[in-house]
DNA sequence: ACGATCCTTCGGCGAACGCCGAACCGTCCT
DNA sequence: AGGACGGTTCGGCGTTCGCCGAAGGATCGT
């Protein structure tokens, strides 16, 4: 019966709108400072401190102190996955008209963004579908990497996905895209690809949010590697 | 920002120990009456009524009235999956010594049980691993049904898993077994197999819980179909 | 050394929440 | 018809929880 208490305690961490907002903000995979999060959530710094304490205590977040700052981020990809699974239960929200600024920001998000540590939006979906189309990824019943996909990854980033690896994070995983309403590629391979895109300057972050923009080099790389052109 | 409110509202449904216990009890996939759940959770009937209202309202449960009874069950397999994902975050609990009665009950649970609508425990894991060993299931990166697995299912239950199907429930899905600490087979195929085992009398439920017992017919079927013997 | 900045602790306030018992309604059984 | 039973509604109680502002470190820049 005490597993009910565990479940309730875990759920209680997310059962407050402020804490939920904090966790969703952290879904961008980066570390935020306490005051950034306080401003984002619209509460006093002292309130945010309390919430961060609870979230760290509960194992959802980890913190790193650096000088007078306290950086905080999601503890682990499985937390991001959990948040996405929970969020996936909602209807798509009607588009709120929030003025021009909000509209362009949301258009940028739809075009391309990071979803914790992998690519999402039209960009993420396009990459995923190109991989399926070229036989690198199989989606018969859930995603699975093909042998061709394995060699492609070895050529591309010199990393063999079939070598033994620590942890139980799945190699590939479908993640429902909330703007495209289709699945894009998550899991360890998704993270590696995102790392590659950012590291090679194929995409760059727009401002401080989750949105990313495809660079000229990125367009070329997509054409060479996957034979696709966007926009 | 209002998606934070949605997330918080969903989490709040599970953020109470009584409601969490109710949901975990319903993980056996069957419909319970309100007073059964009240007794199980150790609260007054009036209290249970309130909780069930909230859970139904929130879309986690569905109810069916039948005479003076109110039967309630999980709304949908995705709810069960969500509960399992959340529960998977906990450490395995140290074995509580609860007397002989509790010990035999928990041994029965370890041997075989249902996990919402598919088989779990040693039985579930054994079936899953036998399927992998015989090339019916591939577990390279996440579970996937092989062509051989498809024909096996067609022969066994006359159901073609590749035909178009409604809903977005995955065909096969790994589900972490909390007693065996290994994955067993969930998803639509897992549910179909469980239905087969129960329908053919290969397993029968023990008492009123989630535990199941393999019958003589079940032993024979497992030997014929998957070449395994248990216990 | 000094103020500015980031964060934390503490006390107190108000709202929300979970619980119960009592009364009540509808259904089933005899 | 009468009683037993399952479920619900309502009012009230106590606790928990989220919030803030004020005060107090700790660290950084000048």
Q: Smallest Cα–C1' distance to nucleotide C22: which residue has it?
A: B46
Residue B9 has pLDDT above 80, yes or no: yes
Please give the C-alpha separations between residue A69 and each of A20, A64, A73, in angstroms, as whole numbers.
22, 8, 13
Decide: A161 and A150 in contact? Cβ < 8 Å: yes
Separation of alpha carbons B100 and B97, rounded Å: 8
Burial A116-148 (b: 16+ CB within 10 A, else e): bbbbbbbbbbbbbbbbbebebbbbbbbbbbbee
User: If DSSP codes are grouped into helix, strand and coil, which group holds residue B196?
Assistant: helix
Residues 27-56 of B with CB under 8 A from A: none
Q: What percent of chain B has pLDDT over 90?
A: 54
Cβ neighbours around A2 below 10 Å, total: 11
Q: Tell me the average pLDDT across A49-77.
A: 93
Q: Tell me the average pLDDT across A148-158.
A: 92
Q: Does B95 touch chain A (CB under 8 A)?
A: no
Res. A15 pLDDT band, cuts 50 70 90: very high
**pLDDT at residue number B224:** 93
Assign residue B138 a region (left: φ > 0; alpha: ψ between -120 and 50; beta: otherwise).
beta
Q: Do B4 and A11 touch (CB under 8 A)?
A: no
Q: In terms of C-beta density within 10 A (0-12 exposed, 13-18 middle, 19 or more buried), how is residue A96 classed?
A: exposed
Please give the C-alpha separations between residue B99 and each of A9, A103, A213, B94, in angstroms, as whole numbers.
28, 63, 62, 15
What pTM value is reported for the model? 0.78
Q: Do A4 and B13 touch (CB under 8 A)?
A: no
Q: In terms of C-beta density within 10 A (0-12 exposed, 13-18 middle, 19 or more buried), how is residue B98 classed?
A: exposed
Q: Tell me the average pLDDT across A44-59.
A: 96
**For residue B19, which nucleotide's C1' is closest to its Cα?**
C18
- The count of CB pairs under 8 A between chains A and B is 135
For testing contact with chain A, the best of B18, B82, B142, B190 (most A CBs within 10 A): B142
How distant is C1' of D6 from CA of B175, in Å?
A: 36
Crossing angle, helix B121-133 and helix B216-226, to 10 degrees? 20
Q: Tell me the average pLDDT across A148-170.
A: 85
Res. B29 pLDDT band, cuts 50 70 90: confident
Segment A67-89, tens digit of pLDDT: 889 999 999 888 998 998 899 88
Whether the beta carbon of B12 falls within 7 A of nucleic chain C: the reply is yes
Which helix (H) or strand (E) segment holds residue B174: the answer is strand B173-176
Segment A101-145, tens digit of pLDDT: 666 767 888 888 888 889 988 999 999 999 999 999 887 667 888
**pLDDT at residue number A100:** 66
Please give the mean pLDDT across all residues of chain B: 87
Res. B208 pLDDT band, cuts 50 70 90: low
Decide: A41 and A22 in contact? Cβ < 8 Å: yes
Separation of alpha carbons A56 and A72, rounded Å: 9
Q: Do B12 and A11 touch (CB under 8 A)?
A: yes
Half-sphere exposure of A46 (CA within 13 A, CB side): 0
Segment A161-216, tens digit of pLDDT: 888 777 667 888 887 777 776 788 988 999 999 999 999 999 998 876 788 999 99
**pLDDT at residue number A98:** 58
Separation of alpha carbons B72 and B116, rounded Å: 14
Q: Tell me the average pLDDT across B95-104.
A: 62
Residue A96 has pLDDT above 80, yes or no: no
Crossing angle, helix B147-157 and helix B187-199, to 10 degrees? 30
């Amino acid at each position: 019966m005490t597993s009910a208490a565990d479940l309730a305690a875990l759920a209680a961490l997310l059962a407050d709108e402020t804490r939920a907002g904090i966790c969703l903000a952290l879904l961008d995979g980066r570390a935020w400072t306490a005051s950034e999060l306080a401003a984002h959530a619209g509460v006093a710094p002292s309130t945010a401190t309390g919430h961060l304490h609870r979230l760290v205590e509960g194992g959802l977040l980890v913190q790193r102190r650096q000088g007078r700052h306290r950086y905080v981020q999601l503890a682990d990809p499985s937390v991001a996955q959990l948040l996405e699974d929970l969020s996936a239960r909602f209807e798509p929200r009607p588009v709120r008209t929030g003025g021009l600024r909000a509209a362009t920001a949301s258009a940028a998000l739809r075009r391309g963004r990071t979803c914790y540590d992998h690519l999402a939006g039209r960009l993420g979906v396009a990459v995923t579908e190109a991989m399926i189309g070229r036989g690198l990824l199989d989606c018969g019943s859930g995603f699975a990497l093909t042998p061709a996909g394995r060699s492609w990854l070895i050529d591309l980033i010199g990393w063999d996905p079939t070598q033994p690896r620590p942890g139980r994070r799945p190699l590939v995983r479908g993640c429902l895209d909330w703007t495209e309403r289709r699945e894009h590629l998550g899991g360890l391979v998704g993270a590696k690809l995102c790392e590659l895109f950012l590291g090679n300057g194929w995409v760059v972050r727009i401002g401080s949010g989750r949105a990313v923009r495809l660079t000229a080099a990125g367009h070329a790389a997509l054409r060479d590697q996957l034979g696709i052109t966007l926009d």
